[in-house]
Chain A
Amino acid sequence: MVKDRFGFTMQILACTFIAYMLISLFYLYFVVGGAWNLVGRALLDSRVLGALTISVSSAFIVGGLAIAAAIPVAYLLAYKDFRGRGMLETLLIDLPQTFPPVTEGLVYLLMFGRFGLAYTFTAVILAKFYVSAPFTVSFATRRFREIKATGLDVIARSLGAKTRHIMGKVLLPLSARDLLAGFSLTWARAMGELAATLVFAGAIPWKTEIIPSLVYLTAETAPEVAMAASVIAETLSIIALVSFRWITRVRA
């Protein structure tokens, strides 16, 4: 006899949700397990390898650019007091993560198309950067604020440190882990981005075709290729998130 019926119902609902999410996550591996030889062959397909190369290399470049952008932006947001700072933060961090990527792709097509940037590797990077960089900016801003609250920058200045010393000797060493954590999320998001890249960069094999566009384009015509590409994408994203968990746990 269950005494706390409401609590018990809550647990059942929670377990249902958890089971649904976990099955969705691992379903692909079960399916692929049944047709491993087909998928195995597709993995060696030149088009799949091309998409993997473009996806991974562009995601690393986007992650690096995100760190380069996050440091000055986070410093501005954390240390400078100005009107509209909250609004700017929403525009820089929250909006890009909810903005429809397909629209963003169109905007870039109109904005940069005339400079011959459409359908190039650079277009892949620009398209991914907009939606993925905010993770790193957000992590860096939060950490810089935490450090500011400790007053360490005031102490450093009282010892004669200029802004460049504070950045190099205080802020960056103390936020290295957060930048790395932001990098791993940015990288994972960049790996998963589809719509903006498809619209702005197209899907030219070995040039702008990434894993998600390959999956999209082959899902009906060559499902084993789509599955192979998906397994790779999913595995890499799991690795990225496990790294993220590890990086943040080590800090705690």
Chain B
Amino acid sequence: MDNKGKSMKEIRIESVTKHYGTIKALDHVNLGVNPAEFMVVMGPSGCGKTTLLLVVLGALSPDEGHIIINGKVIDDLPLEERGIGYVPQDFGLFPHLNVYENVAFGLKVRNQGEDETHKIVNELLVMVDLQGLEDRKPQELSGGQKQRVALARALATNPSVLLLDEPLSNVDEATKAEVRVNLKKIVKRTKITTLCVTHNPEDAFNLGDRIAIMQSGKIIQCDSPINLLKNPKNEGVKRLIAPMYTLYKLEGAYVQS
């Protein structure tokens, strides 16, 4: 599924604000994701990053601001008509359906023909390296396998953009590095514009083409991983990216010596 001739889409988040009661979860957030870019929003838990994802998805409506995909304001489009691929933190596989049926779900509800569905699902299963596991139920899969099923399911309907919520938090530590490399490879191969949120600096720096640092409902800095390391805007950013920053400083010192 190499996005066959489909033009790549950009996401623009314009001045989006969202309150929960008196708490400001999102405070005039502005963020642009370029076509085919892998954007990671990174911040501590409770900073508003999942809220941001759900607003783009259409599961929450913002109090103010606009979501624009490829120049089109989609504020009033219901969730099911947005055509956005979504992989939640727990992967959200349908527990009563097997791997094949999970991936085929979106095609079935769109009344895609049986042959076409079969072809698309098989292509995707090959791409995410799950061929042979079609009949397994989600309970019989590892965290990494579940993630790939969820990814294949989200990509099956050829969405305009992809949203990933903490894609690696439910994957075993032992296989995490490998799963991360695979995830990036798959996303890059489909050239789909991706918005991913995570609290984990290591994931953010390994996955993101650019990283937006978020705190208390605001984006404080958005830049490429290397620029973030070279020029963290302030102490807050430095603290949030601390593990990577320390590594960078150490490696820098090593290279210099």
Q: Which residues of A contact B (CB under 8 A)?
A: 150-152, 154-162, 165, 169-170, 173-174
Complex contact B105–A154 (CB within 8 A): no
Query: Separation in Å of the A7 CB from the closest CB of chain B?
Result: 41
* Given the contacts A159-B157, A161-B80, A154 and B109 also touching, CB distance less than 8 Å: no
Residues of the A chain whose Cβ atoms lie less than 8 Å from the Cβ of B44: none
B94 at the interface (CB under 8 A from A): yes
Complex contact A156–B105 (CB within 8 A): yes
In the complex, residue of chain A having the shortest beta-carbon distance to the beta carbon of B84: A158
Complex contact A162–B92 (CB within 8 A): no
* Given the contacts A152-B94, A157-B79, A159-B153, A165 and B109 also touching, CB distance less than 8 Å: yes
Complex contact B92–A150 (CB within 8 A): yes
Residues of the B chain whose Cβ atoms lie less than 8 Å from the Cβ of A165: 109
Out of A150, A152, A159, A174, name the residue touching B109 (CB < 8 Å).
Answer: A159
Query: Separation in Å of the B209 CB from the closest CB of chain A?
Result: 23
Residues of the A chain whose Cβ atoms lie less than 8 Å from the Cβ of B57: 154, 158
What 0/1 pattern do residues 78 to 95 of B give for CB contact below 8 A with A? 111111111010101011
**Distance A174 CA – B109 CA, assembled complex (angstroms):** 17
What are 14 A-B contacts defined by CB distance under 8 Å?
A154-B57, A154-B59, A154-B86, A154-B92, A156-B109, A158-B57, A158-B79, A158-B84, A158-B86, A160-B80, A160-B106, A161-B80, A169-B108, A174-B95
* Given the contacts A150-B92, A154-B59, A174-B96, A162 and B105 also touching, CB distance less than 8 Å: no
Complex contact A173–B79 (CB within 8 A): no
Complex contact B88–A151 (CB within 8 A): yes
Complex contact A159–B105 (CB within 8 A): yes
B4 at the interface (CB under 8 A from A): no
In the complex, residue of chain A having the shortest beta-carbon distance to the beta carbon of B79: A157
**Distance A156 CA – B86 CA, assembled complex (angstroms):** 10
B119 at the interface (CB under 8 A from A): no
Complex contact A152–B92 (CB within 8 A): yes
Query: Separation in Å of the B164 CB from the closest CB of chain A?
Result: 12
Pairs A-B, 6 closest by C-beta atoms: A159-B106, A158-B86, A157-B80, A157-B79, A155-B92, A165-B109
